[in-house]
Structure 1
Amino acid sequence: MDESDVREFNRDAWDKQVEQNNRWTKPVDQETIQRAKSGDFSIVLTPTKPVPSDWFPPLEAAETLCLASAGGQQAPVLAAAGAKVTVFDNSPKQLKQDRFVAERDGLKMNFVEGDMADLSTFPDDTFNFVFHPCSNVFVPNILPVWRECYRVLRSGGTLLAGFTNPLRYIFDDERKENGNLDVRYSLPYSDLEHLDQSHIQRSIQDGFALEFGHTLEDQIGGQLKAGFLLSGFYEDRYASDTKDPLSNFLDTFIATRAIKP
């Protein structure tokens, strides 16, 4: 399976997640949008912690790319707060959730379907702000993602990114669900390389996307190598009511703020 096959597989998987009412596919309500229009808003890059308010650039009329961020949640809120938002995502049905909110609440937004590692539809220096929540686990190679973010941002532009600590991927998944943290896999991790075909077939049937556990060298070092300067960092974990044994011990999600000089 090559990268184009992965993209097609994960597009179909996320379309199915919309049908199954996954947490990240549920559009925000009208009250949330109304509050955002008055400047009162809160959105996440990672499972639970809100992005600090001082991480955002001035949003009024800011050309904003919500990258791999469809689902009717973060993008409409940013649009309501005054940003000129383009939502870019691999899943047509996820993009449909954003269209629903935009039409319901009278928001002006642009919607583009595509691969987060290929932003060639946008010229250089197009955006003031890129918002990229946890989603790069769904592409095999993240270095092009950082390079493309850098290219489409204007000088002084802000990149807010959320991603998964690769430690999540070293444990046996089935035993982890039962609370047993048995180290089994090496990093970088790939569902395609580490799981057997029967497991992958179950993922296909259940509508789960293929995932890739990228090293911190690629996640953080990749941003630096692309030219960004890091100016913010925090960690996060799943909420206490989520069945996730790892979250009993440590944070396994990371958010960064980076600036294009």
Structure 2
Amino acid sequence: MSQTTEHNSKAWDKKVEDGVRYTQSITHETIEKARSGEWTIGVTADRQVPRNWFPESLKGVKVLCLASGGGQQGPVLAATGAEVTVFDLSEKQLQQDERVADQEGLDLKTVKGEMTDLSVFADETFDLIVHPVANVFIENVRPVWKEAARVLKNKGTLISGFMNPVLYLFDAEKEDEGKLEVAHTIPYSALEEEEVIEGETLEFGHTLEDQLQGQTDAGFVIAGIYEDDFGGERTIDHHIKTMIATRAVKLKL
């Protein structure tokens, strides 16, 4: 793993210990609903992915939950009958998935690794990849799209969430005070800040060209898109949507 990934791996382990929002596993009730066919998942903070972005039935569908530990998307999809592998950089996030799977009797695999390197998987292994907002934690996003395309079968689907880079224009401390003050440029790198704080994630604001054209350059056709925010929790939510979700289909030309 790169130094950035090692740092973020430890930071996410700490987030699990602290019980932050994106490390909190789903409930037994959610699993029971999924088993009966009533389910949704999110790849951004607030909105749920449209049901028609998924196959009508997920039974037997091979799903990779990419950078998706935390006991959230993976267990829901496993409860629908999908063959799920959860891949994440954080051991403790993966343990959340394992704990839910054990408690609920779900067949679910976990693999620890860096999202830019999926060499543990053979070409054209999966039918579907679910990739929640996570590529903010890597320096270069294009390898993620290339690896996703490699491990997806032809006409397989990639559902991903990512940040609109406009979020990273503003001073975070000022925003907490209700003020939007431009302080950075895009692309944004936390490594350019004065200090790296142990236990806090390093984040990167990628250009929309790398996020969108990066997918098409990797062999995807973007078939769906929507925007989202933090549900009104942040000052910027009142001005612009800062998250994007896409549905992309791999097509061999």
TM over 0.5: yes
Offset at residue 31 of structure 1 (A): 0.7
Once residues 226 and 91 of structure 2 are traced to their aligned partners in structure 1, the CA distance between those partners, rounded to angstroms, is 31
Distance in 1 between the 2:172 and 2:228 partners? 20
1:43 and 1:218 mapped to 2: Cα distance? 25
Q: Which residue of 1 aligns with 2:136?
A: 137
Alpha-carbon separation, structure 2, partners of 1:223 and 1:88: 20
Structure 1 residue 175: deviation in Å?
1.1
Question: What pairs with 1:38-57 in structure 2 (closer than 5 Å)?
Answer: 38-57=36-55
Counterpart Cα distance in 2 of 1:73 and 1:182: 34
- Give 1:184 shift: 1.3
Q: Which of 241, 244, 248 is 1:254 aligned to?
A: 244
Question: Residues of 1 paired with 2:146 and 2:49: CA distance?
Answer: 23
Equivalent in the alignment of 1:222: 214
Unaligned runs of 5+ in 1: none
In 2, distance between residues paired with 1:172 and 1:209?
16
Structure 2: distance between partners of 1:101 and 1:61: 20
Aligned mate of 1:231, from 203, 223, 228:
223
Q: Residue type matched to 1:24 in 2?
A: Y
Letter aligned with residue 242 of structure 2: T
Report the counterpart of residue 25 of structure 1 in structure 2.
23
Letter of the 1:44 partner, please give it. G
- Report how far residue 112 of structure 1 moved: 0.2
One of 203, 213, 226 as aligned partner of 2:205: 213
Q: Partner letter of residue 52 of structure 2?
A: D
The Cα of 1:173 is off from its aligned counterpart by 1.4
Aligned mates of 1:135, 1:22 — CA distance in 2: 15
Secondary structure of the residue aligned to 1:12 is: helix
Instruction: Could you list the structure 1 runs, at least 4 aligned residues long, displaced by more than 6 angstroms after superposition.
Output: none
For the residues of structure 2 that align with 1:210 and 1:223, how far apart are their CA atoms? 23
2:214, 2:20 → 1: CA distance?
30
Shift of 1:177: 1.1
Alpha-carbon distance in structure 1 between the residues aligned to 2:173 and 2:231: 20
1:155-211, Cα deviation, whole Å (9 max, x unpaired): 110000000000000111111111111111111000001x112xx2xx31xx22100
Report the equivalent of 2:96. Answer: 97
Task: Give, in whole Å, the separation in 1 of the partners of 2:236 and 2:93.
Answer: 28
Tell me how far apart the structure 1 counterparts of residues 52 and 153 of structure 2 sit (CA, whole Å). Answer: 19
Give distance in 2, aligned partners of 1:251 and 1:60: 34
Q: CA deviation at 1:17?
A: 0.1
Q: Tell me, what secondary structure is at the counterpart of 1:256?
A: strand
Report SS of the residue matched to 2:32. Answer: helix
Task: Tell me the CA shift for residue 214 of structure 1.
Answer: 0.3
Report the Cα distance in structure 2 between the residues aligned to 1:148 and 1:233, rounded to whole angstroms.
Answer: 21
1:82 Cα offset (Å): 1.1
SS of the residue corresponding to residue 2 of structure 2 reads helix
Cα RMSD between the aligned structures?
Answer: 0.8
- Rounded to whole Å, the distance in 1 between the matches of 2:142 and 2:111 is 21
- For each residue in 1:98-124, what CA deviation from the matched residue of structure 2 results, as whole angstroms up to 9, or x when unmatched? 000000000001110000000000000
CA–CA separation in structure 1 for the residues paired with 2:110 and 2:2: 21
1:124 aligns with 2:114: no
Match of 1:192 in 2: 191
Kindly indicate whether residue 12 of structure 2 is the aligned counterpart of residue 14 of structure 1: yes
- Residue 11 of structure 2 aligns to which amino acid in structure 1? A
What residue identity is the alignment partner of 2:237?
S
